[in-house]
Amino acid sequence: MTTGFTEPAKKHLGQNFLRDTSVIDRIVLAIAPQPGDVIVEIGPGQGALTFPLLKQHGDITAIEFDRDLHAPLQTAARQHGELHLIAGDVLSVNFSELAAQRSDAQGQIRLVGNLPYNLSSPILFHALDHAHAIRDMHFMLQKEVVERMAAGPGSKVYGRLSVMLQAYCSVTPLFIVPPGAFIPAPKVDSAVVRLVPKPHGKIEVADHASFANVVRAAFGQRRKTLRNALHGVADSATLEAAGLRPEARAEQVAVADFVQLANLLAAG
């Protein structure tokens, strides 16, 4: 499976290549590709997930930044199926345009990937910008990041990432993967998570920018009360109109309440 891949792993590109076939099998099983799906992999690397997916599905689009991997990926992919390789930075790939070009019957793509951990938050926020074009996402991330994504109010790790993701998606942690499953081994545990964007009409956020702004401000100073953290964004009367106590802290506020506050601000 690694024939032709001679380059050492590049740390600055977050290259930890999956080697444990039982983990790879579990991920493919969780994705469960169906005929007609358009599967887009972020960071195929040396093809650990790409080739098993290609064998099952026959057709995968993959976005890889590391130019040294392109030729060996294309060569090795030929025996498994059709690989559409996009060379470049995933953050500059417009998922909505990609979905418009080559989507399934619903106009959506399915995102998968063992993500470069240094870019996981930017990639998640980038995906959120195109949530309507994405049917679901299966990502391997640092376990600690998955815990933050799935956390609820009152948890120590509940924060901006939890609120932003849960407003747009259901977040389901699937399983934990130990460092030994990768070469080179990362320092921490990893976890696989499934994200399913809410159907178009079910997303209650009226204004994406206003919502993102409120959540950023509220958690920018998470030790402060909402009244202080949101100074200049929302006054106490607006907080109360949204059903929030100005003395509360962001870490105690439910996702739905942030949505309500942002919608009230956007309407005013």
Residue numbers in the known binding site for S-adenosyl-L-methionine are 16, 18, 43, 64, 89, 114
Binding-site positions read 16, 18, 43, 64, 89, 114
Q: Provide the minimum distance between the beta carbon of 15 and ligand SAM in the complex, in angstroms, as a whole number.
A: 5
Least separation in angstroms between CB 224 and ligand SAM: 34
Joined together, the tokens standing for residue 182 give: 């990768």
DSSP 8-class letter at 225: B
Shortest reach from residue 6's CB to ligand SAM, in Å:
15
Nearer to ligand SAM, 46 or 103 (CB): 46
Closer residue to ligand SAM, CB minimum distance, 42 or 165: 42
The number of helices, as runs of H, and strands, as runs of E, in the chain is 11, 9
Residue with Cβ nearer ligand SAM (54 or 217): 54
Q: Enumerate residues 6+ apart whose C-beta is below 8 A from 193.
A: 138, 139, 141, 146, 149, 150, 171, 172, 173, 174
Contact indicator for 192, 203 with CB cutoff of 8 Å: no
| Nearest-angstrom CA–CA distance, 265 and 268 | 5
Nearest residue to ligand SAM, by Cβ distance, number only = 43
Least distance to ligand SAM, CB of residue 176, Å:
16
What is the contact surface with ligand SAM in residues (CB under 6 A)? Answer: 13-18, 42-46, 48-49, 63-66, 89-91, 114, 116, 119
Q: With respect to ligand SAM, which residue has the nearer C-beta, 86 or 161?
A: 86
Largest CA distance in the chain: 64
What span, in angstroms and rounded, lies between the C-alpha atoms of 41 and 62? Answer: 5
